[in-house]
Amino acid sequence: MKRIPLLIFCLMVGTLNAGCDDKFDPLSFLSPEFDEGLNLVDVSGTVTLPAALGFSVDEYGTIITAAATETTETIYGALYIGFFSGTDDSNAQYPMPLTAPVSNDAFPYGGTTIGTFDAINPATGERDTELVCKYVSNQNFEADTDGNLVHNFDILQFPFYSGATLWAFLDVDTDDPENGTCSLSSGFRDPDDNTIYYGANFPDVLNKPQEYVSAGDVVTGFDDVIIMESLSDPLDITINCHIGVNC
Amino acid sequence: MKYFAKTFLGTALLASSFACNEIPTSDFLVESTVPVVGELGALQLDVVASVKELTADVGRPNKGAGQFGGFTATFTGDGGSVCVILDPEGLETDLDPEDDGDSDLYVGKESDYTGTPGVTVGLFEGFYEDALGVIHKNDLNRCVVQYTDYFGRPGAHAGLGKVEYCVVSTDAGVVYYVVGKTFSVPNDDANLKVSVAIVETIDNGGEPGCPSITETTLTGDSSS
């Protein structure tokens, strides 16, 4: 007798479901998977830094320097990858994501970062004020048989539009106050001295990449931008345009 | 007896739901005696030494009901740049929510404004269709306020009583709106005085910049 109300409840829910879904399944509300019909997809791919650029990595997989600038203290930072509506190719050297007027926002559909600014010394595992915006953790580049540096990436939960352009850049001189992508005045705060910050990415690097890409950075060249027509397209992108060096 | 209790409870819940349809009034907030939205008219461009300011006196918006408050003023672009200044009631040296308030500065083209001067306060925004035909809401505010945000990026609004200013490049003959959006009003009278002006820019390393602006540049907000 006690089960009758539960049965009625189940039938009611099942009936409600039928009103929303042509494929009537009276037990669908019990299913752990439910397709909301949203245009949100996950993709995976690889990003490659060609051996010809002379990049190398330390024992932790972080990009540390390039042969072309070995004598300087050039800092190679986070690598940014994003999907955009297209690129502006009017610049003779390299393509840049298209941006809207006034707001100058590129409105990326999705994106990700390889590497984080947390000023952690990989040897000690401790935060170091000397490394604020000067060292990137959580990069794990590996050299392939040709000496190219390769890293996997995932871009999650973004709306896919056929024809979207995949574009990437590696920031250099990340602590440059003019166009570095690391903010010296934000990020983790030292628990013993709250005036010390350990740095973090600016939040709009993919929204306004034109404000961050500058000489010394490495970006996707004209021939290497990937236009994604379908979700089955491979996403193996190369960034080989070293601005001011070979680009 | 049980049924009586349930009936009573149901009736009480039903009654309380009707009561929620009315916006509650507060016993401890002072009521404003001026309109929530003001319209100041045309601003006059001058050098900062002889600045010609206008002052709004606006009331507390009902934020809980989604209402925005503030004022609009206008100027016509001449193809150059202008420095727009806003100063809400209060001295930076004596900030007290009892008698100080906060208003945030926005500037944009008349055609991009979603509000109605003197009636509602809106935003400067439009829609941007990207190369793939996807529509995005586009922020068309042209005023990057001098303060920096948490990340050190310019464009953050100031707090209680603090003067805000920005440089706006204009198109000749185009009407621009200056909007002061009320963030808070003084607790003591709930009426916020906000002064606003436009002044000529100066050369700032090859770029147009605002001249030296202080808390006392504008005085209509009773801040000096």
| DSSP result, B162-220 | --EEEEEE--TT-EEEEEEEEEE--TTTSEEEEEEEEEE-EEETTEEE-----TTS--T
CA atoms lying within 13 Å on the CB side of residue A99: 17
The verdict on a CB contact (< 8 Å) between A204 and B136 is no
Contact predicate A102/A88, CB 8 Å? no
B196-205 per-position pLDDT tens digit:
999 999 999 9
Using the predicted structure, report yes or no on whether residue B10 has a pLDDT greater than 70. no
pLDDT at residue B21 in the model: 53
ipTM of this complex prediction, to 2 decimal places: 0.82
Q: Which residue of chain A has the CA closest to B169?
A: A102
Given 3-state DSSP classes, what are the helix, strand and coil percentages for chain A, each rounded to the nearest 5? 15, 35, 55
Q: What average pLDDT does range B91-103 have in this prediction?
A: 84
Comparing A189 with B4, which gets the higher pLDDT? Answer: A189
Using the predicted structure, report yes or no on whether residue B85 has a pLDDT greater than 90. yes
Distance between CA atoms of residues B29 and B186, nearest Å: 10
Contacts of A101 in chain B (CB under 8 A): 128, 138
pLDDT, chain B, mean: 89
Among partner residues B134, B138, B152, which is closest to A161 by beta-carbon distance?
Answer: B134
Distance between CA atoms of residues B194 and A33, nearest Å: 55
pTM: 0.82
Distance between CA atoms of residues A26 and B26, nearest Å: 49
The verdict on a CB contact (< 8 Å) between A102 and B140 is yes
Using the predicted structure, report yes or no on whether residue A22 has a pLDDT greater than 60. no
Using the predicted structure, report yes or no on whether residue B134 has a pLDDT greater than 70. yes
Distance between CA atoms of residues A86 and A108, nearest Å: 10
Distance between CA atoms of residues B76 and B45, nearest Å: 10
* Most confident by average pLDDT, A13-27, A180-194, B71-85: B71-85
Query: How much of chain B, in percent, has pLDDT values that exceed 90?
Result: 75
Contact predicate A181/A169, CB 8 Å? no
Using the predicted structure, report yes or no on whether residue A18 has a pLDDT greater than 60. no
**What are the residues whose beta carbons fall under 8 Å from the beta carbon of B192, sequence distance 6 or more?**
B56, B57, B58, B59, B60, B88, B89, B101, B103, B182, B184, B185, B186
What band does B162 get if pLDDT is binned at 50, 70 and 90? very high
CA atoms lying within 13 Å on the CB side of residue B118: 4
**What are the residues whose beta carbons fall under 8 Å from the beta carbon of A23, sequence distance 6 or more?**
none
A88-133 per-position pLDDT tens digit:
999 889 999 999 999 999 999 999 999 999 899 988 999 999 889 9
Using the predicted structure, report yes or no on whether residue A84 has a pLDDT greater than 80. yes
The verdict on a CB contact (< 8 Å) between B136 and A186 is no
Contacts of A229 in chain B (CB under 8 A): none
Using the predicted structure, report yes or no on whether residue A196 has a pLDDT greater than 60. yes
Adjacent-strand bridge partners of A189: A197
What band does A62 get if pLDDT is binned at 50, 70 and 90? confident
pLDDT at residue A70 in the model: 45
pLDDT at residue A68 in the model: 41
Interface contacts A/B by beta carbons within 8 Å: 55
Q: What average pLDDT does range B215-224 have in this prediction?
A: 81
Q: How many residues does chain A have?
A: 247
Q: Which of B106, B111, B132 would best serve as a mutation to test chain A binding (most A beta carbons within 10 A)?
A: B132
Using the predicted structure, report yes or no on whether residue A10 has a pLDDT greater than 60. no
Contact predicate A187/A118, CB 8 Å? yes
pLDDT at residue A20 in the model: 46
Distance between CA atoms of residues B58 and B71, nearest Å: 7
The pair phi, psi for residue A44, each rounded to 5°, is -135, 155
Report the candidate in A72, A67, A68, A61 with the shortest Cα–Cα distance to residue A114.
Answer: A61
CA angle B132, B133, B138 (to 5 degrees): 110
The verdict on a CB contact (< 8 Å) between A107 and B136 is yes
